[in-house]
Structure formats: structure tokens, C-alpha cells
Chains A and B, each alone.
Chain A
Amino acid sequence: MIELFHEPSFNFIGRRRWAYIVSIAITLIGLAALATKGLHYDIDFTGGTLVQVRFEQPPSVATIRAGLTRIKLGESIIQQFGDPREFIIRMPLTTTSSEELAKRMEGALKQESSLGNFEIRRVEFVGPQVGKELQWQAIQAVLYGLIGILVYIALRFDLKGGVAAVVAVFHDVLVCLGAISLTGREFSLPVLAALLTIIGFSVNDTIVAYDRLRENRGKFVPKGKTFADQMNDAVNQTLSRTVLTSLTVFLSAAILLFFGGKTLEDFAFVLFVGVITGTYSTTYVAAALVVDWTRYFEGRVGRGKKAVVKA
């Protein structure tokens, strides 16, 4: 049989201090990117009008902008979208209605004769009120997602495990947001959906490790095994599964990213990054935090064996 790891016994937990440095560094890079470059919110959240146009011949951005300047929409964001003939034009909120705007845009582009024929394939308009609501709903969705997970793990395992898992998930969300900001991608509704999926995925891994730890502690624990050793065993025992699962989800995400088309690209990108950080954070954020937290309490209370995971 093919085996990725044969009875692995890597010292993951022992090297957690290094991992903390790595995690903090990555998180800081992410935060710095968010602070300096910020997030480009899609019109879903800011409100505005988006028009997707396909031209018969590949046009130049300058010509499109020249056409739009005529109707005082020169400030619009013009982006190539996948195919060289396909463009997305984003216009900020104006007092003009969306249909009026799309119509005027169509007229202006028609006057620019070098652009040739074109087809308007998609129009999206989000009013200011809806944009604000969606922003609020996005924050709520992430918060409730985190709370739901915290409560679930706190009930099934214990509070320490729940908090550590949420910190790990939070870390993943920050890393993904940082990656979006660094690559200049849009933060849109599908990206939000991907973030929530990553929350679920990352917590999945953490639960598998916790479950194993709990099971092992229910059995005979050899003398001299510290809690850190036990956690390290649990991580090692579930290592093949973690890596294999991450690999299959990673494959799915990669195929979405490279073959799913432009519309799904940002969504797939977040999954792609999220799978990597989610797998990492299970061991080096969630498990490591539980170990240090437990050590801290054991050292302070001095009564030893009271551990995270009750059998």
C-alpha cells in the first residue's frame, strides 16, 4: 500500500515556539497589507453599478475610457475579465438610475467607432441601502459562524479547546484577507462565502485532532507523557488523514481556480489559500495554544493532570 507517512513521530508541538513566530509574522504581514492597501470592496458592499461587456475585437482600455469620459464616467474602474475581449466596468453610485446609466454607457461606447460591436452581458446594480446591509450581514455571518463553532466545541470538548479553535480560525480569516489585499482582489459576496467555508474546513481539522486526543486520554496514558507529548501524538496519529484530506480539497480548489472561469476565480483563490493556512493552523495555532494554556494552568494551580479534553 502507498503511505504518505509510516507511523510518523514528528515533533510538531515541541517546535511550536518557532511556529508562533511564523504565525505572528504572517498575521502581521496580513494586517499591514490590510492597513496600507486595504480591501477593495465589490459593489455588493459599496453600492454602485457593474457592467460586463464583450467586444468583438479586443479593445484598449484607453479607448473605453475615452468613450466613458464623454459622459463624465471617466473615473470608472475598467478591468479586463478573463478573455481579452471581455471587460468589466464599475461605476460608483450616482443619482442616475442603473438603467439610465447602462443606457448612457452603451450610447457612449457605440460612439467610439474603433471599439466595434459589443454585447452587454451582465448588469449589476446595488443601491446604497442594500450595500450597507450586506456589509453588516457579512460581519454578522462571520461573527455568528465563529460563535457557533466556539459554542459547539465548548460543549463537545471544553472551553479552552473552543477558544483555541476560534483563535486558529480567526488567524486563517486574517491570512486570507491579507492575501486578498496583497493580490489586489475584490472582496465580494462569493469571497465571503469562501471565507465561511474555510472557517468550517479549518475547524474540521482541529476537531479531528481534539477527538483523537480525547480518545487517547480515555485509554491508558503511559507515565511520563506530558500533555504536550500527548497532543503531539494525537497530531501525528491524524497526520495522514489531515494531509490527505487537505490534498483532496486543495485539488478541488485548485481546479476551480484554474478552470472554473473568471467569475469563480477570487472565490477559488480564497479556498486555495485557506486550505493551506487551515491545515497549518490546526497544529500550530489551535493545538499549540491548548498545550501552552494547559501548561500555564498546570504550573499555576500545580495540581497537574487537569487537562483540556475531558474524556
Chain B
Amino acid sequence: MPRRLWFRIGLVTVVIAISLFYLYPPKKRINLGLDLQGGIHLVLGVEADKFVASQTERAAEDFKNGLERKGVGVKKIAAEGLGQIGVELANPANLNDALTVAAEFSTFDVTNRDDKAGRFTLAMRDRQIAQLRDDAVRQGVETIRNRVDQFGVAEPTITRQGSDRILIQLPGVQDPERAKALIGKTALLEFKLLDEQTPVEQALAGRVPETSEVIFQRIVDKDSKTERKQPYVVQKRTLLTGAELTRAEVQADPNSPGNWQVAIEFTATGARIFGDVTEQNVGRRLAIILDGNLYSAPRINERIPGGRAVITGQFSVDEARDLAIVLRAGALPAPVTILEERTVGPSLGADSIRQGMIAILGSAAAVVVFMLLYYRLSGLIADVALVLNLMILLASMAAFGATLTLPGIAGIALTIGMAVDTNILIFERIREELRVGKSPRSAIEAGFHRALRTIIDTHLTVMVTAAILYNFGTGPVKGFAVSLFVGLAASLFTAYFFTRLLFDIVYVGRRKVESISI
């Protein structure tokens, strides 16, 4: 045999070896999509502007404190619009002092200055707004990853998508509602004092002091499963947040059997603030508020040192555990909304795998038998090439960590149909050359040679559409595009190069070829 032939045999052997290496063991190697193994696919939208707004409010608070330290009287300071703080001084003569303080806020510019009225606006720079928006999404991804890790999901995917979205895929999760609640919770824990001066009825009627607001406590009656909302009047000022928290553990609630509570522990700073707050407000009630819901409002009996507290509120053990997780993982910097959700139960996934396998095996069997009947020995060669094609396709998907979805399986079934197209093109061409009286060897030569250009054209156009599909599609459609693209690329190798090699081994090696079985 010629040396070139040995080289080609070697190349094919290497390809087969690499494919087998990536494919073994198959169960572990191929990633199944959520539609096949069951699980949740979520796209969350981050309301990043709310993070900008909360940061603006914080800056407004800092600025006010700064002015107070300088002894500048203030008539009004309020966040208005996105990243804008409106300032009105008590005395316009103090404007220059105020501007010196403003100069320290390097991410803000002074605009709309009105010297006579002592008014100006602090506007956050666009670059800073963009930065904050970006931070909100990035921190959101981190926080959610943290929560999911603690919740315990095997191989979750949590990635940023576009500018303000987070894509979350949780394979094999049994309780989607619970997982969604865990992920979507902002988990902003706040400690505020109850406003006991203002009667609740008066507040509900709309007469609330500017420094207070009405917050509800959800009380669920365990027997009738009904929910009622208990209103409280709470001071707006936040004394302490969950950001100063180091630990959160689940405990049995000693006062209410069957219910659970979450014990929390503050950082050193948090503990000091907590100690001060409790010392200064003995006798008053401290409200514990999570995401705008009041959980409890115990009365402060004495100064609480050491920075420990408990959150109670009719929790089941799962609820308490999830609450502890979100508190430990920290709050989301901005609220999120569910934009898209696809949940597939495990039994449906198993059904889909079964049907997909039937479809693949069915179409493979039909095509293999057809080729064998129509082209005989050459058909067998094409069938062998088809098997190699599927092997390379699956191995490439394993190697690139691509995911096999149900539409992906359809793509494979279709690839089977298209892969033999190349062989049909070549074989028909060889038959034609034989018909015009060429010798078997030169017919093979001419058949392969003449079909090549057409084969490349047909492969490239379909690969172009597969690439476009990949770029525009979402999850399942992407899976289809991937298997179609890889399948076609593999078919260039197997249906052309590999088939040619088999032909050369069968026919060219011999001294004299009488006829071709085609």
C-alpha cells in the first residue's frame, strides 16, 4: 500500500481514538439539557435603576450629614429622578460652603445652580450610573450563585445575559416553587423602630408623619390556610441592615412548638450599632422587616450586647432554612423579576429521551437499510461513515461541553439524513462516470473529484443557516443549531475523506478492479 494511504489510515485512527476518549463513559460525558433531565430555566431581569436610586439616596443622606457638620442649614434635600439630588439651602449665603462639601462627592456634578434661591442639583455622572447598573447585575449574579450553592444544586448555570439579565439553569431540581422563591427574594433585612405615637387607624386613613410609613405583617392561619395582613406604623429610618450579618442558623422556636426561627449574629460593627440602638430605645418596639414585610416587632427590654437576635414568624423548617440561606448569602442589590421561565418535570424529561432515542434509531435504521439496498457494498461504506459521523458528533459535543436538548436530538436525526446526501452525490457521480465508459478506478477518482465542489457549497450554506440560528435562538433552538452545525462539519470529514479512504482500501489497493459494487 502507498505511504499516503497509511498516513490517511493513521489520521482516521487518531480521530476515532480521540472520539472514544471523549465519549467514554457516555452517561457522564454528554450534558443533557433541562428539557431532557428536568429542571428550571429562568431569565431574571435586574431592576438596576433601583440600585442607582438607593445609592443616590445614600449619597443624599451623606451630603446632608456633611452640610450639618459644616453648620450649613438645609431647607430641603431629596433624591429626585435617576441619580439626581435636589438641594435647597436655608440661607442662600451659605452656597459656597455647600459647594465645598459637594466637591467632595467626586461622582456627582453640580448643575441647575440658582445662587439667589440657594438651590442646586447634584447629578450623578453618567459613567457612575453605568458603573452602578453594572455592579447591580454583577453582584446579583454573585449573590444568586451563593444562594444556589448553599441550597445544593448539582451543576447549576448562573450567568449574566446581556446588560441587565441573569440566566439561571438548575438541572434536576424537584421543587421549582421553592427554588424560585429562594432565588428571587431580594432578602433585604432591615431593623426599624415602631412609631407608637401614631395610631394605626389614623395612619391607614392616610395621615402618616413624613418620617413614618405603614408596613404589614402577613399572618397565616395554619388551619384555615387564610392569610390576613396586620398593619404597623414604622419609622422610615433604617437602623441596621442584613449587610452587617455574619451568621444565620435555623433553630426550633422555643415559644411555639412545631415552628422554626432563624438566629442571626452581627459583625463587630453591627453588634456595636445593635447594642447602641437597644440601649437608647429600651421600652420601645423594634421591627424586623424583610423585603418590606414585617416579621416581628419585639419590645426592647434591655441593652442587647454581643450582637445576637432571632427572627420568628411561623416558619416551617424549609422556610426557615431558606431564609437562613438568603440572609447568609446577602441581599440582592436590586430587585429582580422573572422574565422567562421553563420548568420541566423529571418524568417528562425521561419520556422525551425515550421518544428522541426512538426517533434517532428509527431514522438511522431507515437510512442505513436504504443505502445498503440501493448501493450495496458502497452503501455499506456510507453506513460505516455514518456511524463514524455520529461518533464524532457526540464526542465533539462532549468535548465542547455542549448540551444535548430535545431539538438537538431532532438535529441529529436530521444530520443522519443530510450526511448521506454527500455520499449519494458522490455515488451518483461515480455511476455516471461508469456509464460513459470510464474504468472503475478513474470513475472513483472522477466521482470524488467532481462532487467535491458541490459538497463544500451545500455544507457551507447549511452551516451558515445553523450559525445564524445559534446566534438568534434561545436555549432549545441553540441546541438544535449546535448539533446541526457540528454534524455537518463532521460529515465533511466522514462522508468525503473517510469514505474515499475506504474506497481506496477496497478498490485501489488491488491490482485490477473489474467492477464496483455501487
Which of A1, A97, A148, A201 is the one whose CB lies under 8 Å from B431?
A1
Is A271 part of the contact surface with B, judged by Cβ < 8 Å?
yes
Query: Could you list 9 A-B pairs, sorted by A, with CB under 8 Å?
Result: A124-B342, A125-B338, A153-B461, A192-B477, A196-B468, A211-B457, A248-B420, A249-B417, A252-B366
* Distance in angstroms between the alpha carbons of A203 and B177 in the assembled complex: 46
Which of A102, A121, A204, A261 is the one whose CB lies under 8 Å from B458?
A204
Total chain B interface residues with beta-carbon distance under 8 A: 73
B466:A2 contact, CB within 8 angstroms:
no
Having A127-B338, A129-B45, A264-B356, one finds 17 other A-B pairs with CB under 8 Å, namely A97-B338, A124-B341, A137-B473, A140-B472, A145-B464, A149-B461, A190-B410, A192-B477, A201-B462, A204-B462, A245-B424, A251-B366, A256-B363, A259-B355, A260-B359, A261-B359, A264-B410
Task: Please name the residue on chain A nearest to B412 by beta carbon.
Answer: A252
Binds B, one of A19-27, A108-116, A221-229, A236-244: A236-244
B374:A267 contact, CB within 8 angstroms:
no
B201 to chain A, nearest CB (A): 30
A167 to chain B, nearest CB (A): 16
Q: Which 3 A-B pairs have the closest CB atoms?
A: A261-B355, A252-B417, A200-B462
A122:B345 contact, CB within 8 angstroms:
yes
Is A253 part of the contact surface with B, judged by Cβ < 8 Å?
yes
Is A307 part of the contact surface with B, judged by Cβ < 8 Å?
no
From known contacts A140-B472, A248-B420, A264-B355, infer whether A189 and B477 are also in contact, taking CB-CB under 8 Å.
yes
A121:B340 contact, CB within 8 angstroms:
no
Task: Please name the residue on chain B nearest to A258 by beta carbon.
Answer: B362
Please, what's the 1-or-0 string for B446-465, where 1 marks a CB less than 8 Å from any CB in chain A? 00001001100110111011
Which of A1, A98, A144, A215 is the one whose CB lies under 8 Å from B338?
A98
A261:B351 contact, CB within 8 angstroms:
yes
A200:B359 contact, CB within 8 angstroms:
no
Is A73 part of the contact surface with B, judged by Cβ < 8 Å?
no
Residues of the B chain whose Cβ atoms lie less than 8 Å from the Cβ of A140: 472
8 Å CB contacts to A: which residues of B339-370? Answer: 339-345, 347-348, 351-352, 355-356, 358-359, 362-363, 366-367, 370
B374:A130 contact, CB within 8 angstroms:
no
Please, what's the 1-or-0 string for A119-156, where 1 marks a CB less than 8 Å from any CB in chain B? 11111111101100010011011001100110011001
* Distance in angstroms between the alpha carbons of A247 and B374 in the assembled complex: 12
B405 to chain A, nearest CB (A): 10
**A to B contact number (C-beta, < 8 Å):** 214
* Distance in angstroms between the alpha carbons of A96 and B35 in the assembled complex: 25
Is B484 part of the contact surface with A, judged by Cβ < 8 Å?
yes
Residues of the A chain whose Cβ atoms lie less than 8 Å from the Cβ of B460: 152
Which of B355, B431, B461, B469 is the one whose CB lies under 8 Å from A152?
B461
Task: Please name the residue on chain B nearest to A103 by beta carbon.
Answer: B177
* Distance in angstroms between the alpha carbons of A247 and B370 in the assembled complex: 10
8 Å CB contacts to B: which residues of A188-215? Answer: 189-190, 192-193, 196-197, 199-201, 203-204, 207-208, 211-212, 215
B348:A121 contact, CB within 8 angstroms:
yes
A134:B474 contact, CB within 8 angstroms:
yes
From known contacts A124-B341, A193-B473, A248-B370, infer whether A241 and B457 are also in contact, taking CB-CB under 8 Å.
no
Which of A193, A237, A250 is the one whose CB lies under 8 Å from B480?
A193
Question: What class of interface size applies to chain A in its complex with B?
Answer: 35 or more
Is B43 part of the contact surface with A, judged by Cβ < 8 Å?
yes
Task: Please name the residue on chain A nearest to B432 by beta carbon.
Answer: A237
**Chain B interface, >50% SS class:** helix
From known contacts A122-B345, A124-B341, infer whether A253 and B477 are also in contact, taking CB-CB under 8 Å.
no
Residues of the B chain whose Cβ atoms lie less than 8 Å from the Cβ of A200: 461-462, 464-466
Please, what's the 1-or-0 string for A256-300, where 1 marks a CB less than 8 Å from any CB in chain B? 100111011001100100000000000000000000000000000
A255:B366 contact, CB within 8 angstroms:
yes
Residue from A130, A145, A241 having most chain B Cβ neighbours under 10 A: A241
From known contacts A245-B424, A255-B363, infer whether A130 and B461 are also in contact, taking CB-CB under 8 Å.
no
A260:B464 contact, CB within 8 angstroms:
no
A157 to chain B, nearest CB (A): 9
Residues of the A chain whose Cβ atoms lie less than 8 Å from the Cβ of B370: 247-248, 251
B367:A252 contact, CB within 8 angstroms:
yes
Please, what's the 1-or-0 string for A75-108, where 1 marks a CB less than 8 Å from any CB in chain B? 0000000000000000000000111001100000
Is B406 part of the contact surface with A, judged by Cβ < 8 Å?
yes
Please, what's the 1-or-0 string for B95-130, where 1 marks a CB less than 8 Å from any CB in chain A? 000000000000000000000000000000000000
Is B245 part of the contact surface with A, judged by Cβ < 8 Å?
no
Residues of the A chain whose Cβ atoms lie less than 8 Å from the Cβ of B362: 255, 259
B424:A204 contact, CB within 8 angstroms:
no
* Distance in angstroms between the alpha carbons of A140 and B469 in the assembled complex: 10
* Distance in angstroms between the alpha carbons of A200 and B180 in the assembled complex: 39
* Distance in angstroms between the alpha carbons of A271 and B45 in the assembled complex: 35
* Distance in angstroms between the alpha carbons of A129 and B418 in the assembled complex: 37
B457:A248 contact, CB within 8 angstroms:
no
Task: Please name the residue on chain A nearest to B435 by beta carbon.
Answer: A7
Residue from A99, A124, A193, A267 having most chain B Cβ neighbours under 10 A: A193
Residues of the A chain whose Cβ atoms lie less than 8 Å from the Cβ of B418: 201, 245, 249
* Distance in angstroms between the alpha carbons of A260 and B353 in the assembled complex: 10
B406:A264 contact, CB within 8 angstroms:
yes
Task: Please name the residue on chain A nearest to B374 by beta carbon.
Answer: A2
From known contacts A121-B347, A264-B355, infer whether A152 and B464 are also in contact, taking CB-CB under 8 Å.
yes
B421:A204 contact, CB within 8 angstroms:
yes
8 Å CB contacts to A: which residues of B357-393? Answer: 358-359, 362-363, 366-367, 370-371, 373-376
* Distance in angstroms between the alpha carbons of A215 and B345 in the assembled complex: 55
Task: Please name the residue on chain B nearest to A190 by beta carbon.
Answer: B407
A240:B474 contact, CB within 8 angstroms:
no
From known contacts A130-B43, A247-B370, infer whether A211 and B355 are also in contact, taking CB-CB under 8 Å.
no
A196:B410 contact, CB within 8 angstroms:
no
